[in-house]
């Protein structure tokens, strides 16, 4: 609906503005004010009425049509006020052609229509939001599947043809076509688009898989357990639809002001007609006074008061990494009581990194890290990438490694400078029969309490020949535990500033994650988060938003996964990390296109500043009418002060200019987020001096 209105207002604005040029050029009032003249010719006196009629019919009639529902609901608003002004100006101007009066309102009529079309085009463009969230969810499902027949052959069939208990083949890199259970094979499956968690999940026979997730390097045979509307993905799609439908409608501030102004203008016109009829009897002067009141009440400035601020607001937001898709949500952001952040990929980097390390006596940390990076040089595992990135961050140059080999379920090994070196988890230490020194054991225990993964670096002093051991079997002779590395999903450096700044704005910060309570508590304690929702299933995330809303709080939600989509739409303000999945982006009101959580703070600050400008513009626009309507009615006529229609139109234009200038001042808003005074270069809060 909004997209259709946007295109309609845009098209009619450009056509009507083009047709208004002759009316402005041949307006005697404008010629007198600006000191110019245009050539006249036989019939040139008809230019103003003819072109004004065309502009009214093409650009003005849509406002009349949209005023009908307001009148039916007995709730006059902006459309009713606009319609009243343009109808009065149109009828009076046409009458002035037949019954000459002091002046006509042709140029005011066309400019009013043009400005209203421009304002509503800008408004519709800012309000419009795409409604393709469910379509984006549907795209996660493949169109076809490889079904295994009774004779062991495979056949390609549409996913819609799959039934419960069918056996399907999921090749490496392919999408799982339906919910089911692994019947044969093992692989790592990327479920981030469903769970929002970055770590691939290992799957083996008996494990459940979700339709729409992406298989890793292994091949799986999956026994279908649910299809169509019964799948997890379909359930999330229904949640998105329900949450979208449950979002309440907010009354627009400018429309309320227009409704009040409608009654004020009508009341003033009635009083004016009665007063002037009593004073001078009913004649053309009375009609001119009444028409002047009604036309002066037309919302030139009021019609632009909000859209201009919205347009500048949207531009400022874009330059600061925010894409605003719902204006009402942007306005609501100023009043947020709580903001819920999804943990993985939002408050954290979404990928594992080395957060701490410990070494045995006599071993330098840099040497140990370089040695581990050398062993992991040929591995694509996320732990290997984390170790290599940690070495790169320290500008370390790993030594050359040869004879790389993966030890399934335990780790990796390689030959470095004549020694066998291993990197792996606790299972590796068991196989190598390595003893863990007390201080490394304490390090591992503390890491475990913080929900961190620990991997170990083990070095052998004497290299054995490959022929002396079976393939895949680790040699235990002479092994020495060198170092331990704590791995965790790294907290973003910006997250510390975000939480502190939001607390400074009086906003409660909550965190929502599918991770364990220990992991969630560790991150929350580090960041100073107020409320933690841990071990939350995908289908329950929007319920946590509702839980805070039931406490009377206006809630914002920041997320990046498909499982966040229902929560994003359920929230009063849904904020998507731009690098997240398409459906999360489509479900949000505001998108952080630069993937920077600091923009959440900027969003709140910009919302507050924009709303102040909206209020100021409403005061300017309505304030003009407070003075202009009584003057147009002739309250100062006894002392010789009578506002002519031409002067009234000039004041009306001046009001519009003031509103436009005031809206431009929004660009001066300071959206910077201050650094924490105790923030170290690493981004972690440090004790103050």
Residue from 342, 489, 521, 542 carrying the catalytic annotation: 342
3-state class of 485 per DSSP? strand
199 falls in which pLDDT band (50, 70, 90)?
Answer: low
How many CA atoms lie less than 13 Å away from 89 in the CB half-sphere?
29
Is the pLDDT assigned to residue 427 strictly greater than 90? no
* pLDDT at residue 371, as a whole number: 93
Of 548, 474, 470, nearest to 509 (Cα)? 548
70-76 LR contacts (CB < 8 Å, sep 24+): 75/259, 76/258, 76/259, 76/262, 76/263
- Of 55-59, 90-94, 316-320, 607-611, the poorest mean pLDDT is in 316-320
Q: Which pTM does this prediction carry?
A: 0.58
pLDDT tens for each residue of 535-589: 787 778 889 999 999 999 999 999 876 678 888 889 999 988 765 555 666 677 8
Dihedral, 122, 123, 125, 131 alpha carbons, nearest 10: 180
Of 50, 20, 616, nearest to 301 (Cα)? 616
Separation CA 562–CA 133 (nearest Å): 10
Strand order in the sheet with 401-407: 348-359, 479-491, 453-460, 419-424, 411-416, 401-407
Residue percentage of the chain with pLDDT more than 70: 80
Strand partners, 223: 167, 181
Separation CA 102–CA 643 (nearest Å): 13
29 falls in which pLDDT band (50, 70, 90)?
Answer: confident
Separation CA 86–CA 213 (nearest Å): 57
Is the pLDDT assigned to residue 84 strictly greater than 60? yes
- The tokens for 425 are 């988890």
Residue percentage of the chain with pLDDT more than 90: 23
* Cα→Cα distances 443→81, 201, 422, 689, Å: 72, 26, 19, 27
* pLDDT at residue 361, as a whole number: 87
pLDDT tens for each residue of 584-625: 666 778 877 667 788 899 899 999 998 888 888 878 777 777
What average pLDDT does this structure show over 175-194?
86
What average pLDDT does this structure show over 122-140?
56
CB contact set of 628 (below 8 Å; sequence gap of 6+): 296, 643, 648, 651, 652, 655
199: how many CB neighbours lie within 10 A of its CB? 18
- The tokens for 586 are 């489509």
Residue 175 carries which DSSP code? B
pLDDT averaged over every residue in the chain = 79
pLDDT tens for each residue of 504-535: 999 999 998 877 677 788 888 889 999 999 87
What average pLDDT does this structure show over 652-670?
79
User: Residue 40: enclosing H or E segment and its boundaries?
Assistant: none
Q: Is 342 a catalytic residue?
A: yes
* pLDDT at residue 370, as a whole number: 93
In our burial notation (b when 16+ CB lie closer than 10 A, e otherwise), range 74-96 reads eebbbbbbbbbbbbbbbebbbeb
Separation CA 373–CA 628 (nearest Å): 77
* pLDDT at residue 553, as a whole number: 94
3-state class of 134 per DSSP? helix
First to last CA, the chain: 58
Phi, psi at residue 456, to the nearest 5°?
A: -120, 150
* pLDDT at residue 647, as a whole number: 65
* pLDDT at residue 249, as a whole number: 34
- The tokens for 357 are 């390390």
């Amino acid at each position: 609906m909004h997209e259709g209105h946007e295109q309609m207002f845009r098209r009619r604005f450009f056509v009507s503005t083009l047709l208004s040029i002759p009316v402005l050029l041949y307006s005697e009032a404008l010629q007198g004010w600006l000191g110019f003249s245009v050539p006249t010719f036989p019939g040139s006196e008809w230019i103003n009425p003819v072109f004004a009629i065309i502009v009214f019919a093409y650009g003005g009639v849509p406002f009349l049509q949209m005023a009908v529902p307001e009148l039916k609901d007995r709730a006059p608003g902006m459309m009713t006020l606009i319609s009243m002004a343009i109808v009065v100006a149109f009828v009076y101007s046409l009458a002035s052609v037949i019954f000459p009066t002091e002046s006509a309102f042709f140029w005011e009529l066309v400019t009013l229509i043009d400005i209203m079309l421009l304002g509503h085009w800008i408004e519709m463009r800012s309000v419009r939001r795409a409604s393709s969230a469910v379509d984006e969810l549907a795209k996660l499902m493949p169109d076809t599947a490889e079904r295994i027949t009774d004779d062991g052959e495979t056949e390609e069939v549409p996913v819609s043809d799959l039934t419960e208990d069918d056996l399907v083949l999921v090749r490496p890199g392919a999408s799982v076509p339906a919910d089911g259970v692994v019947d044969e094979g093992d692989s790592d499956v990327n479920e981030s688009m469903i769970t929002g968690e970055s770590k691939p999940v290992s799957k083996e026979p008996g494990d459940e898989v979700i339709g729409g997730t992406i298989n890793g390097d292994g091949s799986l045979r999956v026994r279908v357990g649910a299809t169509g509307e019964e799948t997890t993905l379909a359930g999330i799609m229904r949640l998105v639809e329900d949450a979208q439908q449950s979002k309440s409608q907010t009354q627009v501030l400018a429309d309320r002001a227009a409704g009040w102004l409608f009654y004020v203008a009508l009341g003033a016109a009635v009083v004016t007609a009665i007063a002037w009829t009593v004073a001078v009897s009913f004649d053309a002067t009375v009609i001119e006074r009444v028409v002047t009141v009604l036309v002066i009440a037309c919302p030139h400035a009021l019609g632009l008061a909000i859209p201009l601020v919205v347009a500048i607001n949207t531009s400022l937001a874009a330059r600061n990494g925010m894409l605003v898709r719902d204006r009402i949500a942007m306005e609501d952001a100023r009043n947020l009581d709580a903001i819920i952040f999804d943990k993985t990929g939002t408050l954290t980097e979404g990928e594992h990194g080395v957060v701490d390390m410990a070494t045995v006596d006599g071993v330098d940390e840099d040497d140990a890290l370089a040695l581990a990076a050398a062993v992991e040089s040929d591995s694509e595992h996320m732990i290997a990438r984390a170790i290599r990135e940690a070495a790169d961050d320290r500008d370390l140059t790993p030594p050359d490694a040869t004879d790389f080999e993966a030890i399934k379920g335990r780790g990796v090994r390689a030959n470095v400078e004549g020694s066998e070196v291993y990197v792996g988890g606790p299972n590796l230490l068991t196989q190598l029969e390595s003893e863990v020194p007390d201080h490394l054991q304490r390090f591992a225990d503390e890491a475990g309490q913080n929900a961190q993964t620990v991997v170990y670096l083990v070095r052998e002093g004497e290299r054995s020949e490959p022929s002396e051991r079976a393939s895949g079997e680790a040699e235990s002779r002479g092994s020495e535990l060198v170092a331990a590395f704590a791995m965790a999903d790294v907290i973003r450096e910006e997250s510390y500033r975000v939480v502190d700044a939001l607390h400074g704005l009086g906003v409660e910060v909550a965190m929502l994650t599918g991770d364990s309570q220990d992991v969630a508590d560790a991150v929350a304690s580090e960041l100073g988060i107020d409320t933690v929702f841990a071990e939350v299933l995908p289908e329950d995330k929007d319920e946590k938003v509702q839980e805070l809303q039931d406490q009377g709080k206006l809630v914002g939600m920041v997320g990046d996964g498909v499982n966040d989509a229902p929560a994003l739409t359920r929230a009063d303000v849904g904020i998507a990390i731009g690098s997240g999945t398409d459906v999360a982006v489509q479900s949000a009101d505001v998108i952080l296109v630069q993937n920077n959580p600091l923009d959440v703070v900027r969003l709140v600050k910009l919302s507050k500043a924009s709303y102040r400008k909206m209020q100021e513009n409403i005061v300017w626009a309505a304030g003009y009418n407070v003075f202009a309507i009584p003057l147009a009615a002739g309250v100062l006529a006894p002392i010789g002060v009578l506002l002519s229609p031409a002067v009234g139109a000039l004041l009306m234009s001046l009001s519009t200019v003031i509103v436009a200038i005031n809206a431009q001042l929004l660009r001066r808003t300071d959206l910077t987020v201050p650094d924490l005074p105790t923030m170290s270069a690493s981004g972690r809060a440090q004790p103050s001096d």
